Amino acid sequence: MNINIMFFECEESLFSRKIPKETRGEIEAIFKRNEIYKKLRMKYLLNKETLNTLDWIEWFNWYYTINANKKEPLWLESYRKSHTKQSDIEYLNYDKLIKLGWSVKDIVYSSVSLSEKGIHKYHANDSDIDYWVKLRNRSPNLFSGAFLAGQLIGQAGFIEIGKNDFIKMKSGYITENQISCNKTIEEKSKYLYIPSVVLQERWKKKFVLYKILKNLKSQIEKSEIDIEKTKLIAITYSQEGTDLCVRLDFNLESYRNNGDIIFTANLKDFMTKI
């Protein structure tokens, strides 16, 4: 979806720290007409009396996320870098995000957008969003995201899959876009697929990924998953993904014709590495 609100396209607006009455009316009209990204969350911010720096940047992040065709201005990137720091990052799971006004679809949309920007061969469309919403609803508590000013900047997680999908994926017969979307799985919590692990370029080599994985590990420990018996599978699309699997001592299973690499591991071994 593309919308035009000129207030968010002017550098001077960054320094006002307040949404004008006219712009507020535009936003409210858009919310009435559309089911839009982060609608509930942004309605909350719209009615918040005082916006802190991170709230304010979140408005601009939101605008340029829903307008993916608009090139994000350099002045916004510069402002964000100069007004945010590593200690501002929040490490959140689905439960916390829902309480903050996010929907599952909002989170998935952010996740897919991050993967598109961070992985060279990754491209998605609206049907991909719906597909991943179905898969994520199956494993809502197996996701860890790093968020800064309402923007997903890094992620890692697991998706529960059935034994047949695990075997087919391991053999290279199916990709992540062909996982069965059945709501329930007979072999509950025995096989986990690792979707893309991605970080924004600014936050690489700053221990952010380590904290994301630690948060994910904590969720697994609180879940009903049998750590001793559960197997993992991952498909890497980049050298960074491959290097991560190697560092975590995953087993290389095979190479796909397009250059992607299939790795497997035991969850128990993964947990000891984090």
Percent residues over pLDDT 90 in the chain: 68
Q: For residue 186, what pLDDT band results from cuts at 50, 70 and 90?
A: low
Would you call 171 exposed, middle or buried from its count of C-beta atoms within 10 A (0-12, 13-18, 19+)?
Answer: exposed
- Please say if the pLDDT value at position 119 is more than 80: no
Residue ranges and CATH numbers for the domains of the chain are 1-84 (no CATH), 88-273 (3.40.630.30)
Predicted confidence (pLDDT) per residue in 207-232, tens digit: 999 999 999 999 999 988 899 999 99
Q: What is the mean pLDDT of residues 232-256?
A: 92
Structure tokens at 123: 């491209």
Tell me if 92 sits within 8 A of 211, measured CB to CB: no
pLDDT value for 124: 61
Residues forming beta bridges with residue 233, ordered by sequence position: 193, 264
pLDDT value for 259: 80
Q: For residue 123, what pLDDT band results from cuts at 50, 70 and 90?
A: low
pLDDT value for 31: 93
Cα end-to-end span (Å), the chain: 39
Q: For residue 183, what pLDDT band results from cuts at 50, 70 and 90?
A: low
Q: What is the mean pLDDT of residues 189-214?
A: 90
Predicted confidence (pLDDT) per residue in 127-161, tens digit: 788 899 999 888 888 999 999 999 999 999 999 99
217-220 CB contacts, 8 Å cutoff, 24+ apart: 217/271, 217/274, 219/93, 219/141, 219/142, 219/143, 219/144, 220/142, 220/158, 220/267, 220/271
151-157 sheet: strands from edge to edge: 90-92, 143-148, 151-157, 198-199
pLDDT value for 107: 95
- Please say if the pLDDT value at position 188 is more than 60: no
pLDDT value for 185: 60
Question: pTM for this structure?
Answer: 0.92
pLDDT value for 98: 96
pLDDT value for 120: 65
Range among 113-122, 139-148, 252-261 rated most confident: 139-148
Q: Which residue has the higher pLDDT, 125 or 82?
A: 82
Predicted confidence (pLDDT) per residue in 82-111, tens digit: 999 999 999 999 999 999 999 999 999 999
The radius of gyration computed from the CA coordinates of the chain, to the nearest angstrom, equals 20
pLDDT value for 100: 97
pLDDT value for 75: 97
> In whole angstroms, what is the distance from residue 37 CA to residue 31 CA?
10
Q: Is the dihedral of CA 85, 90, 91, 92 positive or negative?
A: negative
Q: What is the mean pLDDT of the chain?
A: 90
Structure tokens at 111: 């996740």
pLDDT value for 122: 64
Percent residues over pLDDT 70 in the chain: 93
Which H helix or E strand runs over 68?
A: none
Tell me if 100 sits within 8 A of 41, measured CB to CB: yes
- Please say if the pLDDT value at position 187 is more than 60: no
Length of the chain: 274
